[in-house]
Amino acid sequence: MTTAIDLFARHEQLLQRALSAIRERSYWSAYPENLKAYGENGTLSVADGKAAFDAVLDKPFALEQPATDGQVAGERSPYGIELGLTYPHADVDVLLHAAQQAMPAWRDAGPDARAGVVLEILARINARSHELAQAVMHTSGQAYAMAFQAGGPHAQDRALESIAYSYAEMTRHATEATWEKPQGKRPPQRMTKRFTVVPRGVALVVGCNTFPTWNSYPGLFASLVTGNPVVVKPHPAAVLPLALTVQVAREVLTEAGFSPDLVTLAPEQPGEGLAKVLALRGEVRIVDYTGSTEFGTWLERNAPQAVVFTEKAGVNTVVLDSTDDYRGMLANLAFSLSLYSGQMCTTPQNLLIPRDGITADGEPKSVDDVARDLAAAIDALLGDDARATALLGAIVNGGVLERLGSAASYGDVVLASRTVAHPEFPDATVRTPTVVRLDAGDRDTYLKEHFGPVAFLVTTDGTEASIDLLRETVREHGAITAAVYSTDEKVLEATEQAALDAGVALSCNLTETVYVNQSAAFSDFHATGANPAANAALTDAAYVASRFRVVQSRRHLPGGDDPATPG
């Protein structure tokens, strides 16, 4: 049998490189994002991944758990196909008891052993990236290339980042020490002290529909490597990606000599509300959640026995002042608004522009000019249906369609949404973005999040007013991203100060192939925890450190002073 320490030796070099990366914050990625990099050395090719995905459809998902008391019907693809899957439903009492029973041996194994096991889990998940891509595509609606990258290698990078932070925090101090205190003419007091990383308890990961792996992996792997058993409660419409993840984790844990019940799946029956049930259990001491503000706030207020990490809704804002690359600015914004049909927590919603217009390439551009040219840039990007579907993906659920349908009633339509025919999936629901012109006075509309392909061009009294509105928006309503376009260094500095005041990540003058929606593991801090959209930066030391505590024990050593003598 391959031991956990053997696995640590196998993956130690990768871990050390990841530890360097989180300190350096420069570009590094552990897992290739090129689709063609897979297919050899035990990894699945595109065709292999599709075959593996097809093989699990139309049958019960193969996952044996001790708490199973029935089956749960599965998902329907946003691309219009039935997946025909069912999953094992868990008896909560049995599931949590099994998780708790598995914890002591996992705790006692120590950081190196746990790191070796979780890194092996990641390696095996990475080998199945094309299978996971199919699962992410047909549950989230992402186009295949994005489902592969965001749901595969990029999610795995985020997992590795959280493992590296966790390992650094767990190993920051010595595990044992000899303590010797001089006592003048008397013999010194001598003790041996042991310091053990102790997990908080059962961790609950509540998955989301749009990014089931990318959003779930940091919390899942941070909790597991710090010693906590993890219960994964997937979104009812996106079970398969996390079911595959749990399946791999249980296999590796078993092979390494640990209980597979350290990682379990908890899909729910319709209307069961299982996330609430689990979150309130006393055994659950950690909760990771991505989704609506309403439920995220409920978790923060109603699960006091747990440390709760939430990423909720936000209103992402762009300040338009001036640019020396008008075409590049429009192209960048068009792509950002279109990527995955705007169904990202990082997609910009409000584009703030002075009523007097902006300066572009040294020439004045009115609001009408910018509105017309932005609409043209989006139309040019999405004019070909095959290209459009590769960028837009599919609409993930009916709520997004409802918001899109309502958008035209809010103001003057700069760009109307249109239906796109998918060349491969005729029943897929695909829509292009809509852009609506509003005024700064229309606060009841643009200060709410309209998740999906809906953007507002909001006129303000000027750039200073736009910056003030950015600060207010983030402080009051939260945001994950903010951006500014300006050739004036004073405007850039003022916007950065506003971003610091409000606690949001800022991107300045993006005109090339880096977009405000995108976040790079090991370099970018995704969310800050400094505004209402999230209560933690989702990959940093603080995010992992509260998942465990250090508990000491101490004993006298022979030859010291009288043990009864106070020190």
pLDDT in tens, 167-189: 999 999 999 999 999 999 999 99
pLDDT in tens, 68-87: 999 999 899 999 999 999 99
Cβ–Cβ under 8 Å, residues 337 and 329: no
pLDDT in tens, 8-62: 999 999 999 999 999 999 999 999 999 999 999 999 999 999 999 999 999 999 9
Distance, in Å, from the CA atom of 247 to the CA atom of 409, rounded to the nearest integer, reads 46
pLDDT at 536: 87
pLDDT in tens, 393-434: 999 999 999 999 999 999 999 999 999 999 999 999 999 999
| Mean of all residue pLDDT scores within the chain | 96
Distance, in Å, from the CA atom of 76 to the CA atom of 57, rounded to the nearest integer, reads 11
pLDDT at 304: 97
Domains and CATH numbers, the chain: 43-176+188-313+539-552 (3.40.605.10), 317-508 (3.40.309.10)
Tokens 């584009």 found at = 351
Distance, in Å, from the CA atom of 197 to the CA atom of 204, rounded to the nearest integer, reads 20
| Averaged pLDDT, 496-515 | 97
pLDDT at 313: 87
Distance, in Å, from the CA atom of 67 to the CA atom of 88, rounded to the nearest integer, reads 9
Listed in sequence order, the DSSP H helices in 318-429 are: 326-338, 367-381, 385-392, 398-407
Residue 109's pLDDT band (boundaries 50, 70, 90)?
Answer: very high
Residue 563's pLDDT band (boundaries 50, 70, 90)?
Answer: very low
Closest C-alpha among 493, 504, 491 to residue 464: 491
Q: What percentage of the chain has pLDDT greater than the value 70?
A: 98
Cβ–Cβ under 8 Å, residues 396 and 209: yes
Cβ–Cβ under 8 Å, residues 512 and 328: yes
User: Which residues 6+ apart lie within 8 Å of 82 measured at CB?
Assistant: 76
Residue 561's pLDDT band (boundaries 50, 70, 90)?
Answer: low
pLDDT at 558: 85
- Tell me the HSE value of 401 on the side-chain side, using a 13 A CA sphere: 11
Residue 560's pLDDT band (boundaries 50, 70, 90)?
Answer: low
pLDDT in tens, 244-282: 999 999 999 999 999 999 999 999 999 999 999 999 999
pLDDT at 87: 97
- β pairing state of 454-460 and 307-311: unpaired
Residue 67's pLDDT band (boundaries 50, 70, 90)?
Answer: confident
Q: Is the pLDDT of residue 489 over 50?
A: yes
Assign residue 304 a region: left if phi > 0, alpha if psi is -120 to 50, beta otherwise? alpha
What the block records as the tokens of 481 is 């991203």
pLDDT at 96: 98
Q: Is the pLDDT of residue 165 over 90?
A: yes
Is 362 buried (19+), middle (13-18) or exposed (0-12) by CB count in 10 A? Answer: exposed
pLDDT at 538: 81
Q: Is the pLDDT of residue 556 over 90?
A: yes
User: Which residues 6+ apart lie within 8 Å of 470 measured at CB?
Assistant: 317, 319, 352, 482, 495, 498, 499, 502
| Averaged pLDDT, 540-549 | 94
Question: 0.85 exceeded by the pTM?
Answer: yes
- CA–CA distance from 107 to each of 12, 117, 219 (Å)? 20, 13, 18
Q: Is the pLDDT of residue 562 over 80?
A: no
Distance, in Å, from the CA atom of 528 to the CA atom of 105, rounded to the nearest integer, reads 34
Q: Is the pLDDT of residue 492 over 90?
A: yes
